[in-house]
Structure 1
Amino acid sequence: MSTMTADRIHTRDVARTVHAPNASKVRVGKILLGALGVVVAAVWAFPVYWMVLSAFTPNALLRSKTPNFLPTHATLSNFQEVVTGSGFGSALRMSVLITFTTLIAVLAFAFLAALAISRWRFRGRKSFVLAVLFIQMLPAEGLFIAQYKMLSNANLLNSVIGISVLYVAAIIPFTVWMLRGFVAGIPAELEEAAMVDGLSRTQAFLRITFPLLAPGLVASGVYAFLQAWNEFTVALVVLPANDSQTLPLWLRGFLAASVNKGVDWAQVMAASTLIAIPVIVFFLFVQGRMTSGLVSGAVKG
């Protein structure tokens, strides 16, 4: 073996010796970070797991001193009692109508507003942007009296249209800010290039820009859906009638009725699970649309 070859082998062995401890430390660090991530995920997911598990557990077993973390006595009776109980059907119908009315209106108005303040320069544009920001800072509790009197004078208390107007007004400011960032991030030159190729402005917008905005619309839609579906305080003020309650209001009444005869926590958890299911289904549905929108926009851009 030549002296040069021996030197190369020696250098390689030294390099392995130096880098081996570093590689080992990196591997241990990744394992520790992975374990920490698993622990955090378990802590985050446990309340949801306990809610669902309790919904399938008989109330007598749920109130026992020894907790049971596995569905060994699963039953659907809790869900049957909740669904067949008074008020659930009307509350579900009310929540669905209010949520989707709010969702459609918010996306339509916020999208047009974000498009206007991002693509066009007009008098009062900066004032409008600042007004949107200041409106977002107003506390909702300070508007309850004015909102109640406004809807009462318009005979819109206990109505889908009345509370939807309030939800749209409350959700639009933040939604405009969200969509403004998405619209501003898409170069206007893409539409101009499409117009040079023979497309009209409307066609260029629909074929080029709109697919790129799909993820932003989905993200804004998720935010609007969650705000309208889970909102409680405004609904408590402007929906006083028992037959016009949304699901959060119905759940409060359901819990209050249970207090008088001993809280049936199994049924309360079943009701909470039923309220959470539409949110999960909606998110899973739009998550796929968000991915397809990202891919479609990347190809067309």
Structure 2
Amino acid sequence: MSDPSTTPVMLTDRHREALSSAQAQVNRIVLGKQTAVTMSFVALLADGHILIEDLPGLGKTTLAHAIAATVGLEFQRVQFTSDLLPSDVVGVSVFDGAARRFEFHAGPVFTNVLLADEINRAPPRTQSALLEAMAEHQVTVDGVTHALPDPFFVIATQNPVDLSGTYPLPDSQLDRFLMRLNLGYPDRDAERALLAGEDRRSLIAGMLPLLGADDLAQLRRAVAGIHASPALVDYVQALLTRSRQQPGVRVGLSPRAGLALLRASRALALLQGRDHALPDDVQRLFPLIASHRLVADTDAADSGDALAMAILQAIPVD
């Protein structure tokens, strides 16, 4: 028997049109950031989480709100602050005197789309409250495991670590994010349209839910069926190996990073209407998936982005 997880799933015209319309709707809200919007949908289809890092006021939260409104799923937002406790995120067990037992009160993590806003303003203990949720889609409180809703998608935003009041995310937390995105300043035309246009909150309030849970499940099954050739797998493995040998890198990429890269490449191929992933997909995605996972030498001058590009340039495509 064939493995149902890898059996190709044919998408209907309705699914293709809904996916295209969903991206177009988000692009009408987040102006001039088509690449960031595309990559956010890649992460959504690949069952991964995204970390959006940039200066305040550049649209990180707007992008998260727009995606949540478009997929039409249950949405919760948590503003991470220095006094936020783990129980404020995952929930807490409270003793019920009448029933003479502890009752679990679920936290905001029990949702489909979670916006963890300014995640690096909370201390490491609170950040780590999301580790199990992001990796296993469950949380454990007082020895009892509680399953999270399906789908479960985390969009986290963070400010640059050199800004005051921030805590750097630990490597184990960073590894739970499929990719890290940067928005940057808008170009002149996009900024002019933003300044002259309607308030973003009003526009988000008027957004239509174009994808639901069943649609997303169908799209994710289709992603799993996108073909990745043996040569493409060899290319990904060569990138992983090079990352562990690259000058300036203390800790290279793990096999989990390679699996994430292949999964995202399949999702990007689906978005572009192909039934197979290409080396171009891998090259486009590699800096976004690798840069936050690479651990540089303490005396290395290069950033994670520069190291990822150096690794990519060192491995030719056969």
TM-score clears 0.5: no
TM-score tier after normalising by the smaller chain length: under 0.3
Q: TM-score, normalization: structure 1? A: 0.28
Rg larger in structure: 1
Q: Per chain length, whose mean CA-contact separation is higher, i.e. which structure has more relative contact order (CA < 8 Å, sep 6+)?
A: 1
* Greater share of strand: 2
